[in-house]
């Protein structure tokens, strides 16, 4: 029997980045170039400046989770056509593993293009690339791991503890997917991009920063970089 109990401590941190702080060349006046050509030049300048943001980390979540597991040694079988399941005395063992993890959301602007921009003479909307979520760190506080092993049972092996730790990380990802990490990622990107768009002459009330869609919790799980989960699965070495 396995149980996962969750103690979640979230602190969303908006990380502000400065994207392209260098002085921008002055846009040509209508007297110098036709209005349509001026718009094209401004759009190209906008795309170039946004691409300079590269990988923009916007949100950080810190999670504390306690993973528990318990099992009972039992005799199971059939006698006189009746099933039996008898728990053996001194056959129980339990473990509680505290895990602290940090997850970050970022937006990669490497492929940002004019297709991500919708604009009118007065308004502009930037459709952000899909965000990515990475498990940047996770650790077990070995001093706080609690084990109970009855006399008839063997101790938990390193492989078993590593398996429970991996289950904890997977549970953290599922719980993060139900949080507002995607909305926080959009807000963080807005705080970084709006000042740049104001420098290009757009009024803040006329600026819209959005994602291409609203993500469900199941879709958010797919945005997590799975390789980070594998890299962190280095085993639960015992002390």
Give bridge partners of residue 149 from the DSSP assignment.
93
Report pLDDT for 207. 92
d(CA 2, CA 87) in angstroms, rounded, equals: 17
Half-sphere exposure of 112 (CA within 13 A, CB side): 27
pTM over 0.85: no
Distances from the Cα of 82 to the Cαs of 13, 79, 87, 186, 214, in angstroms? Answer: 59, 5, 16, 60, 54
> Which secondary structure element, helix H or strand E, spans residue 158, and what is its range?
helix 158-177
Report pLDDT for 27. 47
For the chain, list residues with pLDDT below 70.
1-41, 72-81, 84-90, 226-239
Please list, in sequence order, all residues whose beta carbon lies within 8 angstroms of the beta carbon of residue 213, skipping any fewer than 6 positions away. Answer: none
Q: Using an 8 Å Cβ cutoff, are 65 and 101 in contact?
A: yes
Residue range 79-123, pLDDT digits in tens: 566 775 566 566 788 889 999 989 999 999 888 888 999 988 888
Closest listed residue to residue 193, CA positions, set 107, 111, 121: 107
């Amino acid at each position: 029997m396995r149980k996962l109990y969750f103690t979640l401590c979230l602190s969303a941190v908006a990380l502000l980045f400065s994207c392209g702080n260098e002085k921008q060349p002055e846009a040509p006046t209508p007297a110098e170039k036709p209005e349509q050509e001026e718009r094209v030049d401004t759009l190209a300048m906008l795309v170039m400046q946004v691409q300079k943001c590269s990988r923009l980390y916007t949100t950080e979540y810190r999670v504390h989770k306690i993973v528990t597991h318990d099992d009972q040694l039992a005799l199971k079988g059939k006698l006189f056509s009746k099933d039996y399941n008898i728990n053996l005395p001194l056959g129980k063992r339990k473990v509680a593993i505290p895990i602290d993890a940090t997850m970050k959301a970022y937006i990669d602007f490497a492929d940002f293009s004019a297709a991500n921009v919708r604009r009118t003479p007065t308004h502009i909307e930037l459709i952000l690339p899909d965000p990515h979520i990475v498990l940047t760190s996770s650790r077990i506080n070995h001093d706080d791991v609690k084990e109970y092993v009855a006399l008839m049972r063997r101790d938990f092996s390193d492989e078993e503890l590593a398996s429970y730790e991996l289950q904890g990380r997977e549970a953290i990802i599922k719980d993060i997917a139900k949080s507002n990490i995607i909305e926080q990622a959009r807000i963080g990107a807005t705080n970084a991009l709006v000042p740049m768009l104001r420098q290009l002459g757009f009024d803040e009330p006329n600026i819209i920063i959005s994602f291409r869609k609203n993500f469900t919790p199941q879709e958010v799980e797919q945005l997590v970089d799975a390789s980070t989960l594998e890299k962190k699965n280095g085993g639960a070495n015992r002390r």
